[in-house]
Structure 1
């Protein structure tokens, strides 16, 4: 999977891309992340990337010509010497608090793509005409960050875990919070040694070796935890099971 990140601060990504799961995915050849400095496509002697908004107002707005110029230059370099399917452009994602909220299903959809571009905003946002040149807009949630870099890191981190051969076990990504295998429920609790700590004991069922009983216990715990913390997810899980039963 190739990821191009358009940003004013490529230096923010240097330690992130070389450590942890993301670094492992890169070293394994499963992930290729490259940063493009938006400033290099700025205008004039000062490489300006923004301007005052038409109609007045506070702050500065990132120019559409600079953003699109950077995206297209990145894609043109990537296509050099390539033919056929590899010559297609990337799936372009604008990172903005106005976008659709990122969830595990969207992460899985992005991770299945061979090439995506993540466009990070700053200041008061983008000239609205940028939307005509991207495929979708994604947000981490209903809050505002100083820029899209943290959101880009979140997407790269989440996608890297799903790439073949990155996790030690394929089951690790299946049986976790929000996964389809869990019907989108929160993950069941885990325990390890010591068996007792300050009066809190590991549930007996987990020590008995009865896999059917363990599976039932974990499902029960996942549903209880979801009901307590995210009842909206529990209702969705019930609908999914009902739909499967009806089909």
Structure 2
């Protein structure tokens, strides 16, 4: 087994999604393992409660420290990876973080719920990641796309046909437009350059489209890109037509 991922959650069934498509194939081929651990199994409360009211009052419930910490400690006996909490204080997830984490052999993800976790749990957490400045029902909703993004970067998860090298965000740019058969669909034709067989012209066309599309649709990404001299000439030619 190349990569081991444990997900600590109150709702293990939510992660059945990983049994399908590309990640499901990687699991069957033992390229990686994704194991879910039910935090509720570690509570000492006879009613299996894992949450309680916050000290000082306030709306909502807080996940208690005891079941989370005991769960983390048990998982750490067989997984020495970073404990990553899906929470609002963390760095916003992006492709750069995905690349970095995909190089780890073992990872542990903690999914919070309700109004968050007891502050004392943080001393057992190595890293916190956010999916953005908006509210979701629980950490599970954030964990699924994050784990999927990381797993796609693991060697041999994607086949050559599914290579991630030219996907959006991999190199800081949006992906260029893609077309498939038929050549003409309801009066809308595939750009002639893609039918030309001229590989250098196709490369330039794709690079230009990626640059311009990123500039126009995601200027926040575009301003982070170090443009080459060729990039500047391609954009200048495109804008001057």
**TM-score, with length taken from structure 2:** 0.89
Q: Secondary structure at the match of 2:224?
A: helix
Shift of 1:99: 1.8
Shift of 1:179: 0.9
CA contact (8 A) 1:93 1:134 kept: yes
Distance 2:94 2:132 in 1: 10
The aligned residue for residue 83 of structure 1 is none
The aligned residue for residue 204 of structure 2 is 216
| Alignment counterpart, residue 172 of structure 1, candidates 150, 163, 167 | 163
Distance 1:8 1:220 in 2: 46
CA contact (8 A) 2:64 2:118 kept: yes
The aligned residue for residue 193 of structure 1 is 181
**TM-score, with length taken from structure 1:** 0.87
Distance 1:97 1:32 in 2: 27
Distance 1:72 1:196 in 2: 59
Aligned pair count?
227
CA contact (8 A) 1:28 1:166 kept: no
CA contact (8 A) 1:62 1:127 kept: yes
Mark the runs of 5 or more structure 1 residues left unpaired by the alignment. Answer: 80-88, 243-247
Shift of 1:171: 7.4
CA contact (8 A) 1:121 1:147 kept: yes
Distance 2:40 2:67 in 1: 9
Mark the runs of 5 or more structure 2 residues left unpaired by the alignment. Answer: 230-241
| Alignment counterpart, residue 111 of structure 2, candidates 113, 120, 123 | 120
Distance 2:24 2:163 in 1: 18
Q: Secondary structure at the match of 1:48?
A: coil
